Amino acid sequence: MALIVQKYGGTSVANAERIRSLASRVGRFKKMGHQIVVVVSAMSGETNRLIGLAKEITLDPDPRELDVIVSTGEQVTIGMTCLALQELGLKAKSYTGSQVRILTNDSHGKARIIDIDGQNMQKDLDDGYVVVVAGFQGCDANGNITTLGRGGSDITGVALAAALKADECQIYTDVDGVYTTDPRVVPEARRLEKITFEEMLELASQGSKVLQTRSVEFAGKYKVKLRVLSSFTDEGEGTLITFEEDSKDENMEEPLISGIAFNRDEAKVTVLGVPDTPGIAYQILGPIADANIDVDMIIQNQGADDTTDFTFTVHKNEMDKALDIIRKQVQPNIHAREISGDDNIAKVSVVGVGMRSHVGIASQMFRTLSEEGINIQMISTSEIKVAVVIDEKYMELAVRVLHKAFELETA
Amino acid sequence: MALIVQKYGGTSVANAERIRSLASRVGRFKKMGHQIVVVVSAMSGETNRLIGLAKEITLDPDPRELDVIVSTGEQVTIGMTCLALQELGLKAKSYTGSQVRILTNDSHGKARIIDIDGQNMQKDLDDGYVVVVAGFQGCDANGNITTLGRGGSDITGVALAAALKADECQIYTDVDGVYTTDPRVVPEARRLEKITFEEMLELASQGSKVLQTRSVEFAGKYKVKLRVLSSFTDEGEGTLITFEEDSKDENMEEPLISGIAFNRDEAKVTVLGVPDTPGIAYQILGPIADANIDVDMIIQNQGADDTTDFTFTVHKNEMDKALDIIRKQVQPNIHAREISGDDNIAKVSVVGVGMRSHVGIASQMFRTLSEEGINIQMISTSEIKVAVVIDEKYMELAVRVLHKAFELETA
C-alpha cells in the first residue's frame, strides 16, 4: 500500500466525461490498496472566464478580490470530482485550500506556501476516503484567500506529497511525459523515461510547459518522487523525475543532452552606459524586486568609458512596468545613457546533466546557430544548461537544428 | 450616521453594468456618512448553471459537495462587487460565509444560522471599508461549507443586520416594494408603503416571492427594521416592514386586508380512514419530519366509523418522497383506508393584520369564490390570514376576484 498524490490539470477535468475518466483511474489505484489524494485545477478555460468577468469591471483588479473570484474555479472542480468518485461507490471528500489550511504568505496571485496541515486529510485517508484538494490556492494567516499563480496546482500537488510524506506525486497532463523538446516544433522529439531533478528544473525554467519551475524546486527540496503522465491514456509509465545519483548508477553512458527548451514569454530590458561603481546592480534590480517582478536572466558587461551595460529579462507582461520603474525611480540616480526594452525575443536552451564535464556543448550550440545565420543577443550558462536569447522569429528554426545537431531523436 | 445592510439579489448583480449601478448606490450612501454592509447573491442564472454542472455527474449529488460547488456563485459576486466599489475610489473588502464565520448547523442545502462573528466586519467598517458578504452560505463547526437554501441571501442580510445591530436592512430586488398581490396577475395591484412583520410573514409563507419566510421571521425575532426596494430605480421608498405597534399609531383606520398571496408550489398528501387514536398525527408526520421534508398546512378531520382523515401539504418536489414514506414506513402501523397525492393544487391566502377582530373576512372570501364556482379543498386560518387550497387552474381567477372584492386597488 502506498500513498499517492495525483494532480490533474485543466484539460484532465475539462468536462463531466473527463472527470469520470479521472474517477475511474483513481478507482483502479484504490482497488490496488493505495491511499489517494487528488489535486485538481479549474476546468480548462474556466480561470480565463473568471478573469474575464473581473476585467469587465476593471482592467486592473485588486489582487485580493481577483483571488476570491479566480479560486472558485478549482472549488467547482473538487466538488464535481468528489461526486464522480462517489458515483463509483468510493468515499470522497473535498477540501478548498483554506479548508486544508494550505498556509501561504499574502502575495495575492503569486503566493508561496508556508505550511500545510495534513492532519485532517490523513485522518480521512485512514478512514478510506479519497481526498480531493483544490490546487493553486491557499489562505494567508488572516484567512484571506490566496492563489499561487498559474501552474500553481503542480506546486499544490508536490507540497501535499511532501506534507503527507507520499510515496509518489503523479502529475497527469495532456502529454505522456517529458520530451527532448516540444513535439509540435520537432516531430522527432522523443519521450524521456527518466530525467534528473536538476535537468527538469532547467527545462521548466527554460520554458518547457510540462512542469512549472517552482513545483520542481519544491519536489527537489523535499525529495518528492515526481512522475509526469498522460491522463488521456492508461498506457505508458510517463517520465520519472529522479535524483541524479539514482539515475547515474543505472546508466553510465547517459546522453550528454536531455533536451532543448524554449520560451517566448520573456522580454529584455537594457540599461546602457551606467557608471561602473559598486552597488550599481542592486540600484537597478532592487526596485524591480520590490515591485515583485520576477527577473530571469541578468547580464552585465563592460561598456565604453568606465561605464557598464546591464541587461535583464522579465515576463513580457511586466516589461512596461519594469521600464517605468527604471525610468522613474532608477534613472535619476544612475544617469544611464540609454534605456530600452524589446519583447520580440525568445530564449532557447540546451539542457543536460552530462554537460558540466564537457566544454564542447556550448561551442557546438553556437556553431549550429551561426550556420543558420541566427544572431545571439544574450548568453547565460549554468552547470547543466546553455541558454541564448535570439530574435523571436528564429526560435522554431533554432530548436529544430539544435535537436538534430545533438542527435536527440535517437536514444 | 447609520449602519445599513443592503442585500442585492441575482437580478441586481446580473452583469457588470448592474454591479456598477449597485456600486454607485452604495457610494451615495457612503457619501451621506453611513457605514454599509453589502450582501450579494449569485449572478442570476449562475446557481442553476452550477447545479447543472453537478447534475452532469450525478442526478443525486451529495449535499456536502453540491454546497462546495454552488457556493462559488456568491463568491464570484463578492469579488466583482468589491472591484466595482474600488473603481469608484471606495475601500471595499469581501467575505465568504466561512470568512465572516457565519456558523450554521450541518444541514447542507438548507442550513440554519447559529451564530455570526461580527468583529472583523465591524473593525473594517470602522476603518472606512464597505464590507461585502456572500449571501446564502456559511460553514458548520467543522469548517464544511454550507448553504442556507434558495432565498437564503435574504436571511444572510437580516442575520448580519441583527449581529451588527444595524439601523436598517434594505432588500433590493426587481420589484419596488410589497404589493397587494402580484401585479402580473392583477394589474391594479398597489404598492404598500408599510406592512407589519406578521402580515409580511404570512404573505411570504403564502408564496409572495418578495421575501422568504425565514428572513422575515428572523427580522421579527431580532427586531431588524426591514425595507424592500427596487435596485432598478432610485425613486421611491419601497415598503417598510414594521412592528405592528408602530404602524397602528400612525394610521388608526388601516385597511383590514393588506394583500392576496398565492402559491402553486405545493402538493397535498391525503391519508383517509385511520384509527382516531391519540398519537396518530405524530405517527404520520414524525417520519416526514425525520426525512427533513417541510410541511405547510396540516388538517385533520373526523371521518367515518371512528376513523379520522388527515391531509397535509408539502413542496411539489417532495410529494413522491412523502408518499413513499407514508406507504412504506407509516402504513404498516396505521392501516389507512386510502393514501393519495395531488400536485394540481394552488393555495390562495387573504392576509391582513386587521382581520383578527373581524369575523366577516373568511365568509366574504368563501362567498366570492363560490360565486365563481371555485371549489375549496382545504381551509386553514391564523390570526391574520385565511388560506384555501383550490384546483390549480382556478388560481389566477381566484386572486383577481378576491383582490377586487376586498377593494385592494384603492388605498
pLDDT of residue A378: 86
Q: What is the mean pLDDT of chain A?
A: 89
Interface test with A, best of B46, B80, B123, B147 (most A CBs within 10 A): B80
A16 touches chain B (CB under 8 A): yes
Q: What is the pLDDT at residue A50?
A: 97
A44 vs B: CB within 8 A? no
CA distance B269 to A338: 85
Contact indicator for A268, A378 with CB cutoff of 8 Å: yes
Which residues of chain B make contact with A79, given a CB cutoff of 8 A?
A: 54, 65-69
Answer whether B79 touches A (CB < 8 Å). Answer: yes
**Interface membership of B94 toward A (CB under 8 Å):** yes
A66 neighbourhood in chain B, CB within 8 Å: 79, 83
Q: CB of A56 within 8 Å of any CB in chain B?
A: yes
Kindly report the nearest CA distance between residue B363 and chain A, in angstroms.
53
Query: What percent of chain B lies above the pLDDT cut of 70?
Result: 93
Residue to mutate among B51, B53, B57, B91, with most A CBs inside 10 A, is B57
Reply yes or no on whether the pLDDT at A243 is more than 90: no
**What DSSP string runs through A138-171?**
EE-TT--EEE--TTHHHHHHHHHHHHTT-SEEEE
B61 touches chain A (CB under 8 A): yes
CA–CA separation, B217 and A331 (whole Å): 65
| Contact criterion met (CB < 8 Å) for A64 and B20 | no
Would you call A76 and B96 a contact, using CB atoms and an 8 Å cutoff? Answer: no
Q: Hey, of A76, A98, A129, which one would you mutate to test binding to chain B, going by the most B CBs within 10 A of its CB?
A: A76
Does a structural domain hold residue A273?
no
pLDDT in tens, B318-335: 999 999 999 999 999 999
Return the residue of A nearest to B20 by Cα: A57
| String of DSSP letters for A280-317 | HHHHHHHHHHHTT--EEEEEEEE-STTEEEEEEEEEGG
With CA atoms as reference, report the closest residue to A297 among A210, A198, A388, A374: A388
**pLDDT at residue A255 in the model:** 57
H helix intervals, A178-268 = 197-205, 213-221, 244-250
- H-run or E-run covering B51: helix B46-57
pLDDT in tens, B17-45: 999 999 999 999 999 999 999 999 999 99
CA distance B379 to B268: 13
* Model pLDDT, residue B247: 47
* The predicted structure's pLDDT at residue A252: 46
> For residue A295, which of A328, A271, A276 has the smallest C-alpha distance?
A271
Q: Residue B249 has what pLDDT?
A: 46
Predicted local distance difference test score (pLDDT) of residue B235: 73
A141–chain B nearest CA distance, Å: 12
Which residues constitute the domain of residue B67? 3-249
d(CA A59, CA A56): 7
- Between chain A and chain B, the number of residue pairs with CB atoms below 8 A apart is 112
Q: How many angstroms from the chain centroid is the CA of residue A131?
A: 24
Check if the beta carbon of residue A84 is closer than 8 Å to that of residue A94: no
Task: Answer yes or no: is A394 within a domain.
Answer: no
Interface contact flag, A96 B50, Cβ < 8 Å = no
Q: Which amino acid is at A162?
A: A
Total domain count, chain B: 1
Measured CA to CA, the distance from residue B225 to residue B220 in angstroms comes to: 8
**In chain A, pLDDT over 70 holds for what percent of residues?**
93
Residue B127's pLDDT band (cuts 50, 70, 90): very high
Q: Does A346 touch chain B (CB under 8 A)?
A: no
pLDDT tens column, B248-280? 444 545 557 888 999 899 999 999 988 888 778
Joined together, the cell numbers standing for residue A400 give: 529544430
Where residue B116 sits, what CATH number does that domain have? Answer: 3.40.1160.10
Q: What percent of chain A has pLDDT over 90?
A: 57
Chain B residues touching A92 at Cβ < 8 A? 65
B38 at the A interface (CB within 8 A)?
no
Q: Do A83 and B57 touch (CB under 8 A)?
A: yes
Chain A: closest CA distance from residue B93 (Å): 8
Q: How far is A16 from chain B (nearest CA, A)?
A: 6
Phi, psi dihedrals of residue B146, rounded to the nearest 5°: -125, 160
- Among A56, A62, A87, the residue with its CB nearest the CB of B16 is A56
- Chain A: nearest CA to B403, how far in angstroms? 44
* Of A50, A57, A82, Cβ closest to residue B83: A57
Q: Which positions in chain B touch A72 (Cβ < 8 Å)? A: 72, 75-76
Closest CA to A110 of A390, A299, A408, A317: A317
The burial of A411, by beta-carbon neighbours within 10 Å (0-12 exposed, 13-18 middle, 19 or more buried), is given as: exposed
Mutation target vs B (from A15, A80, A102; most B CBs, 10 A cutoff): A80
Q: Considering the domain boundaries, does residue A45 fall inside one? A: yes
Q: Is residue A200 part of a domain?
A: no
Q: Is A147 on the interface with B (CB under 8 A)?
A: no
- The minimum CA-CA distance between B287 and chain A, rounded to whole Å, is 27
Identify the sign of the CA torsion A150, A151, A153, A155. Answer: negative
Consecutive H or E run containing B55: helix B46-57
Contact A227, A168 (CB under 8 A): yes
List, in order, residues 6 or more apart from B326 with CB less than 8 Å away.
B269, B271, B284, B287, B288, B339
Whether B98 sits inside 8 A of A94 (CB atoms) is no
Facing residue for B54 by CB, picked from A68, A80, A94 = A80
Indicate yes or no: CB of B68 within 8 angstroms of CB of A96.
yes
Closest CB to B57: pick one of A16, A58, A66: A16
| B356 touches A: beta carbon within 8 Å | no
Checking if the pLDDT of B246 tops 60, the result is no
Coil, helix or strand for A389? strand
Say whether A65 and B72 touch across the interface (CB within 8 A).
no
Find chain B residues with C-beta within 8 A of A54's C-beta.
79-80, 83
| Yes or no, beta carbons of A20 and B57 under 8 Å apart | yes
Give the up-direction half-sphere exposure of residue A176: CA atoms within 13 A in the CB hemisphere. Answer: 10
Contact B72 A76 (CB under 8 A): yes
Greater model confidence, A225 or B213: A225
- Across the interface, of A61, A79, A96, the residue whose CB is closest to B83 is A61
The answer to whether residue B245 scores a pLDDT higher than 60 is no
Choose among A171, A285, A176: nearest CA to A219: A171
Cβ atoms of A355 and A256 closer than 8 Å: yes
Q: What is the pLDDT at residue A290?
A: 86
Asked which of A54-63, A104-113, B65-74, B374-383 is least confident by mean pLDDT, the reply is B374-383
Minimal C-alpha gap between B54 and chain A (Å): 6
Residue A295: pLDDT band with limits 50, 70, 90: confident
CA dist., res. A411 & res. A189, Å (int)? 10
Q: Is the pLDDT of residue B77 over 90?
A: yes
pLDDT at A76 over 60: yes
Q: Reading across the β-sheet that carries A385-391, which strands appear in turn? A: A259-263, A345-351, A385-391, A376-382
Interface contact B69-A62, CB threshold 8 A: no
Query: Residue B123: which residues within 8 A CB-CB, separation 6 or more?
Result: none
Q: Do B58 and A84 touch (CB under 8 A)?
A: yes
How far, rounded to the nearest angstrom, does the alpha carbon of residue B283 sit from its chain's CA centroid? 29
Is residue A348 one of the residues assigned to a domain?
A: no
For the stretch A181-204, pLDDT in tens is: 888 889 998 888 888 888 887 777
- CB proximity A99 to B under 8 Å: yes
User: Can you tell me whether residue B286 is helix, strand or coil?
Assistant: helix
From the CA of A76, how many Å to the nearest CA of chain B? Answer: 5
Q: Residue B359, class by beta-carbon neighbours within 10 Å (0-12 exposed, 13-18 middle, 19+ buried)?
A: exposed
- Domain assignment of residue A53, yes or no: yes
Is ipTM > 0.95 here?
A: no
- Tell me how far apart the alpha carbons of residues B381 and B379 are, in angstroms, rounded to a whole number: 7
The pLDDT tens digits of the residues spanning A213-232 come to: 778 888 888 889 999 988 88
Q: In the numeric block, which cell numbers belong to residue B52?
A: 447543472
Asked if residue A404 belongs to a domain, the reply is no
State pLDDT tens for residues B38-64.
999 999 999 999 999 999 999 999 999
- When scoring B46, B47, B72 by the number of chain A Cβ atoms within 10 A, the one with the most, hence best to mutate, is B72
CA angle A386, A390, A391 (to 5 degrees): 165
Q: Which of B18, B67, B69 best tests the A interface by mutation, with the highest count of A CBs <10 A?
A: B69
Answer whether B350 touches A (CB < 8 Å): no
**B57–A93 CB contact, under 8 Å:** no
Q: Does A11 touch chain B (CB under 8 A)?
A: no
- Residue A167 sits at φ, ψ, to 5 deg, of -75, -30
* B302 inside domain: no
Give me the residues paired with residue B378 across strands. B389
